[in-house]
Structures are given as structure tokens and as C-alpha cells.
Amino acid sequence: MTDMQTFVQDYIAVWNEADAERRRQLIRTLWKEDASHLARTLEAVGHAGIEKRVSDAYEKWVREKGNVFRLRDGVDGHHGTIKLRWEMLPSGGGEVISIGFDFLVLGGDGRIRTGYQFIEA
């Protein structure tokens, strides 16, 4: 894995990426082929499932509603894990709409093996 800060910046960037091919490349860089992305009501498995999950979120929250995801605070990691908090707000600025916490378990190659997403607000 590259340094944690770069990894986390790429992780946040993938959710905002307008270009489908660039988004696909980032997913393959960040997640293992058989990785899982798990939220309370969603389960995405493998690159195809994660690509659909990320693309659906992009279409709904970024393209249609004009929001942006950004890193909030609290990035930390050790022993092959990373925790981070993010927020979603209007791209032009304004009140935060949603706050989330993601816990990422990395494989030996430094890519995400399992990602757990929690919506806090």
C-alpha cells in the first residue's frame, strides 16, 4: 500500500469520480478482486459489485443531487486496517447532509479485503 493518507484520499475520490473508466481503475487499485463492501442495507462483492455500489452512490448523491463526499477527520490505521470518517455536503458548500464511518480491512497486498460502512448522521 502507498502511504495511508494517499490511500484514503483515493478512497474518498472514487465516490466523487465522474469518469466511469477512472472510477473502475480506482476500484481495482483500492479493492481486492474478491473484496466486500458492507453497509447496513447493502452488500457488494467483487470488483463488479463494488463498481455498481460506487456508481449507484455517485449517480444518486453526486450527479443527481449535486453533493460531494469529503474526508472529515479521524483517519487512523494499524495491523492492516484503516478507519476514517467522511461527510457529504452540497458541492457548492453548505450544511453537512450526512456523516459516515468506514472501517477497512486490508489484504496482504494493501488493497481492501472488506470494507464496513456505518452512517452516523
Domain with 66 in it: what CATH number?
Answer: 3.10.450.50
What does pTM read for this prediction?
0.94
Given a cut of 90, whether residue 104 has pLDDT beyond it is yes
Domains in the chain: how many in total? 1
DSSP 93: -
* Residue 81 lies in domain: 4-119
Query: Cell 474526508 sits at which residue?
Result: 71
> Would you state the pLDDT for residue 40?
95
Q: Which residues contact 52 (CB under 8 A, 6 or more apart)?
A: 44
Q: What is the pLDDT of residue 2?
A: 56
Core vs surface per residue 67-99: b (16+ CB within 10 A) or e: bbbebbeebebeeeebebebbbbeeeeeeeeee
